Amino acid sequence: MIAACAALITMVGATPALAATITPNTPPPWSQLTLDREMPDHLRCTDPAGTVVYDGGAFTIAPAIRGPLFAPTVIWLTDFGNESVVPLEFRTTGYPILWSTDDGGPHAEGFFEHAAGRPQGYGSLPTDGAPRITCGYSKLGHFLFGRYKMTAPLVAMIEGMPTSMIGRTLTFDGEGITSFTTPKYLFPTRAVARAAMFPTVVTPTFPEVKLPTTTCVNSGTHRQIYQGAASTSPPLVHGFHWAPVEFWLTGDRAVTPRWSATKVRGTWQTVDGLSPARAGAINMTESFPPNGYFGQQSGLNVHCRFSGHDNSTFVATYPLVAQLGLPLDLALGDVVRTIRFNVDYTTDAQTGTWLFPPK
């Protein structure tokens, strides 16, 4: 399966907002950060009419939290097949949330009661006019919300944060509530069109997995805007070399692509010793949203591409054979077959310039 996470985020190894016990500067592997369905901080989501469309547990991982009690960039619904949700924008109310400098420079401290914007910590206001699902959770009591190096966009998102804090490293603690929205067509319990996806990998901890060298180009200007290392983590990949739901570039930057187009060329053969032996060629392009939910996609003029070779062995499943156009009876016949691939692939992860991370 695809690779995982390298250089992280606008935060300097944050203590995530979903957990009071994670220590700052948390390296991989990352534990699940949970919203327990049995606790008051569980996740509750409603549609525009106020109908509850999800009420249960959820989890995320540390590198998906990019600001103090910001909504995660990706969150998984534990009571709906661990399927992923990508929040579009969020709003936080602190009661209050306190901050203080933590970088050896001149001391400063304060508090904030409101923050709002993109969970990524940057990006313009959303223009997608589709109906939205609104989700929320609370962290009431006393929680450590992380240690972050303050960028100009991050300072702008936190009400009352002095611009003199740009470039400083701050720690945050306190309590508050967070809500976020996402388009209805991308919300798992209400999406009407979805691809055959690999199930989310769920383990107690998740590794960082390196991606091949990644090159990002603005297709409108034909200008290269990034080339270098990238990484992700297994629960962020829902298909055979699909673009991850999120991946990370050097310089503390996260990318949440809206579309994935992967060219796969090579051969496959059964390797289970069963008769008859089967084999064939693959020459196709897989085109799917990274989390499998179809909907409006426009202005995707940033293309981040990486290539590699795969000679892995898989037990055939319906999502695998459906994605690659293989005979369905490999997975759905009386005997499930085991397949080895010998393929080259190039993955094109697509997003908009409005949501590509600044340097």
Among residues 186, 217, 244, which one ends one of the domains?
Answer: 186
Number of domains in the chain: 2
Asked whether residue 131 falls in the same domain as residue 167, the answer is: yes
The confidence score (pLDDT) of residue 26 equals 67
In-domain check, residue 8: no
Sign of CA dihedral 39, 42, 47, 48: positive
Query: Using CA atoms, how far apart are residues 19 and 16, in angstroms rounded to an integer?
Result: 6
Q: Identify whether 5 is part of a domain.
A: no
Structural domain ending residue among the three candidates 156, 186, 216 = 186
Give domain status of residue 192, yes or no.
no
Give pLDDT, residue 253.
86
Query: Is the pTM above the cut of 0.75?
Result: yes
Q: Give the residue from 126, 157, 186 where a domain finishes.
A: 186
pLDDT of residue 21: 30
Measured at the CA of 43, the angle between CA 248 and CA 29, to 5 degrees, comes to 35
Cα–Cα nearest to 131, from 83, 91, 92, 181: 181
Instruction: Tell me how far apart the alpha carbons of residues 160 and 102 are, in angstroms, rounded to a whole number.
Output: 19
What is the DSSP code (8-state) at residue 158? B
Q: Establish if 3 belongs to a structural domain.
A: no
The whole-angstrom separation of Cα 41 and Cα 31 is: 18
The answer on 248 and 339 residing in a single domain is yes
**Do 303 and 164 share a structural domain?**
no
In a shared domain, residues 171 and 241: no
Indicate whether 217 belongs to any domain: yes
49 and 181 part of one domain: yes
Residue 11 lies in a domain: no
Q: Residue 74's closest CA among 195, 203, 234? A: 234
Note whether 52 and 166 are same-domain residues: yes
| pLDDT tens digits in sequence order for the chain, 359 residues long | 433 332 222 233 333 444 333 333 468 999 999 998 888 789 999 999 999 999 999 999 999 999 999 999 999 999 999 999 999 999 999 999 999 999 999 999 999 999 999 999 888 777 778 899 999 999 999 999 989 999 999 999 999 999 999 999 999 999 999 999 999 999 999 998 899 999 999 999 999 999 999 999 999 999 999 999 999 999 999 999 999 999 999 887 899 999 999 999 999 999 999 999 999 999 999 999 999 998 766 779 999 999 999 999 999 999 999 999 999 999 999 999 999 999 999 999 999 887 888 87
User: Is residue 169 located within the same domain as residue 212?
Assistant: no
Q: Which conformational region is residue 228 in: left (phi greater than 0), alpha (psi within -120 to 50 degrees), or beta?
A: left
- pLDDT for the residue 337: 97
312, 340 Cβ separation under 8 angstroms: yes
Is the same domain home to 47 and 152? yes
Predicted local confidence at residue 221, as pLDDT: 94
Could you say which DSSP state residue 334 is in?
S
Distance CA 88, CA 91 (A): 11
In Å, what is the CA distance from 298 to each residue of 92, 351, 353?
28, 9, 11
Strands (E), 79-131: 83-85, 89-101, 109-117
What token pair was written down for 61?
């991982």
Shared domain check, 211 and 293: yes
- Judge whether 20 lies within some domain: no
Give the domain extent around 134: 30-186
d(CA 297, CA 68): 30
Query: How distant, in Å, are the alpha carbons of 105, 262, 329 from that of 272?
Result: 63, 27, 15
Do 142 and 232 sit in the same domain of this protein? no
pLDDT at 19: 33
pLDDT of residue 112: 98
Q: Taking the CA of residue 329 as centre, how many other CA atoms within 13 Å lie in the half-sphere pointing to its CB?
A: 4
Tell whether 265 and 129 lie within a shared domain.
Answer: no
Whether 195 maps to a domain, the answer reads no
Predicted confidence (pLDDT) per residue in 26-52, tens digit:
689 999 999 988 887 899 999 999 999
Is 212 found in the same domain as 340? Answer: yes
Tokens 């070779």 belong to: 309
Q: Going edge to edge, which strands form the sheet with 33-35?
A: 33-35, 58-60, 75-77, 83-85
